[in-house]
Structure 1
């Protein structure tokens, strides 16, 4: 089972793209658990909340993995990853809990799609840093390089992002020709 994670700063289209990819490849995806958690507990959080969000994300990924396996699909998608929690924790609290760092080191994705900040910011009561997106993007890029992750940077309009992502996923799946890509309007 191939696992593809989407990562990057806030308001870069991770949720939309991961859902579209799952639909396109007829497979399961793990939604971002942190959004669900914050919608139910409010936007104020402490480090213990981030740890609960990390555990919830791991459960969501495991559930999506099992669903994709039951469907007999070769790939599944994750709308965010523990790298988001790490960067969030270090920025907000100055450090990341060791168990999260260990899980990041153990947890390997076959492909990580790093979404660029070239989409307009969409205000949302759960988003925090509209003016620091490039700063955070640079952190994600550095972390992925240091981890020697197989990652691709995705940018452009939503339809361009979808095409780029499909190209990389098709390459991961060993397809010699790309699947027909539905044009998004």
Structure 2
């Protein structure tokens, strides 16, 4: 089995958009990268799991976890080569850990090790105060607050730097910028 790659060296700041599904991570990640004129990486799991769903009609299974983490780490490691002062990550290994624990009540030790060894300058934990948007992969509209609590608990467990970001539309964007400037600049 392929191993999870280590994070590539990067002299800039890595910022993770983090939290429950349908909280605007992808949109906010793109807007922040544009604002700071830098690179942004997409969520690898979304494409991986959408393809699986379309081909097999199945959702995420436990054996998908390590390939998802490897794919996410690979696109992050590639992005650091052309990122500017910041790299905005639409998810990371800790996000995958939270979902793994929520769905399977266990996580591969290799994933736990990757979480412990990963280094990010800031996690922007997105509050569940935006409207739910359904799609093929989202399945917990009634458990958003519970999921938020799991994401927060993981940040605390692994002692990761974070700020909670709330607000709708432009206010959410402004709050994210304020959090970045308060924590990493």
TM over 0.5: yes
Instruction: Give a deviation string over 1:37-81, Cα, whole Å, max 9, x none.
Output: 01222152211112211111111111221121xxxx211100011
The yes-or-no answer on 1:77 pairing with 2:77 is: no
The alpha-carbon deviation at position 172 of structure 1 amounts to 4.2
CA RMSD between the two structures: 1.2
Instruction: Give a deviation string over 1:60-108, Cα, whole Å, max 9, x none.
Output: 111221121xxxx211100011122111111222200001100100101
The separation in 1 between residues aligned to 2:163 and 2:61, in whole angstroms, is: 32
TM-score (norm: length of structure 1):
0.88
TM-score (norm: length of structure 2):
0.88
- Would you identify which runs of 4 or more consecutive aligned residues in structure 1 move more than 4 Å? none
1:170-181 alignment to 2 at 5 Å?
A: 170-174=181-185
Alignment length (residue pairs)? 170
Q: Which runs of 5+ in 2 are unaligned?
A: 1-11
CA contact (8 A) 1:30 1:63 kept: no
**Which of residues 34, 40, 59 in structure 2 aligns to 1:44?**
59
1:1-12 alignment to 2 at 5 Å?
A: 1-12=12-23
Instruction: Give a deviation string over 1:3-61, Cα, whole Å, max 9, x none.
Output: 00011000000000001000111100110000010122215221111221111111111
The alpha-carbon deviation at position 136 of structure 1 amounts to 0.7
